[in-house]
Amino acid sequence: MFNALVIHKDDAGYRAAVQSVDDSSLPEGEVTVQVQYSTINYKDGLAITGKSPVVRKFPLHAGIDFAGTVLDSTDARYKSGDAVLLNGWGVGESHSGGLAQKARVKADWLVPLPEGLSTKDAMAIGTAGYTAMLCVLALEHHGLTPDSGEVLVTGANGGVGSVAIAVLSHLGFKVVASTGRPDEAEFLKGLGATEIIHRDTLSAPGKPLAKERWAGVVDAVGSHTLANACAGTKTGGAVTACGLAQGMDFPGSVAPFILRGITLYGIDSVMAPFAKRSAAWGRLASDLDLKKLAALTQVIPLGQAIQAGHDILAGRIRGRVVVDVNA
């Protein structure tokens, strides 16, 4: 028997509960993992609360991330004792996931834990931090360097935003952080932000074109914030879109694209191929200051994960939440 945060939907309604289950609750897969840590991402909050229909199969173990060690494997790439991590692939949505002491998944979905990171570090990064690095890689692919100019990071206090700030500042970029919590300014400056702006400057309907300011953008918010970020991006600049905290809509204009030649990169962390995942995790191991990572991370036991799911949707969480599934 082992503990898992299980999502139910039946005649009694939609609910989440930490309960004891057995191996028969695990889905099919080539690799069984002894999970050490998971985490709470925005999507986990949606799954736990039922605020959005992200869970497609019931009952289901929640958790879109996990890190741990292989218990057994029928795939030659992994053997007992190997340290591995997982992000995405529908885990925690249609396939039981990592907010549990055991997980069973397809071998193709796993990434070997990079040298220099612990399983706890990996979940302090989690899907949010991995997504942030995918955004950074897209900006670099576009040709942005620190000499290109400022990079705007929206949703700065969230998981994506906080890791993006830490990585970009490590790489030498000047980072402008947009947040609705100005009282967190010192925290964000400690991560490496050079300027803090209030999210209200971006979250209301704006003009098709604004004054050119940002060379690049990491946006985890969507809606008017994304549209205004595009409107203020410099000629030839790049915007990465990876979230929808404000909304899924994009009430913008084609003007920044056809008059300034900016590029909007959509960042898909769920189905990214192994090569891109491996590259992102390798860069996180080398370009993310683990002291800064520790400063933006809190650790909770599995029993507190349900409340954390509510808190992340309410904007009450700063940085990253790691779940010790064995505590």
pLDDT for residue 296: 87
Pairing of strands 2-10, 60-61: antiparallel
For residues 39 and 317, is the Cβ–Cβ distance under 8 A? no
Would you say how long the chain is, in residues?
A: 327
pLDDT for residue 65: 96
- Identify the structural domains of the chain with CATH numbers, from first to last: 2-113+296-324 (3.90.180.10), 127-266 (3.40.50.720)
For residues 177 and 156, is the Cβ–Cβ distance under 8 A? yes
Of 233, 231, 83, 76, which is closest to residue 151 (Cα–Cα)? Answer: 233
Locate 124 and state its tokens.
């302090």
pLDDT for residue 219: 98
Amino acid letter at 242? C
For residues 34 and 102, is the Cβ–Cβ distance under 8 A? yes
Strand order in the sheet with 214-219: 195-198, 175-179, 151-153, 214-219, 233-241, 263-266
For residue 297, how many C-alpha atoms fall within 13 Å in the half-sphere facing its CB? 24
Whole-angstrom CA distances from 212 to 209, 229, 231 are 8, 10, 8
Please provide residue 128's backbone torsions phi and psi, each rounded to the nearest 5 degrees.
-60, -50
pLDDT for residue 315: 86
Ranges of beta strands (E only) in 74-153 are 83-87, 102-105, 111-112, 151-153
pLDDT for residue 182: 87
Helix, strand or coil for residue 70? strand
Alpha carbons 250 and 258: distance in angstroms, whole number = 17
One pLDDT digit (tens) per residue for the chain, 327 residues: 999 999 999 999 999 999 999 999 999 999 999 999 999 999 999 999 999 889 999 999 999 999 999 999 999 999 999 999 999 999 999 999 999 999 999 999 999 999 999 999 999 999 999 999 999 999 999 999 999 999 999 999 988 999 999 999 999 999 999 999 888 899 999 999 999 999 999 999 999 999 999 999 999 999 999 999 999 999 999 999 999 989 999 999 999 999 999 999 999 999 999 999 999 999 999 999 999 999 889 999 999 999 999 999 998 988 899 999 999
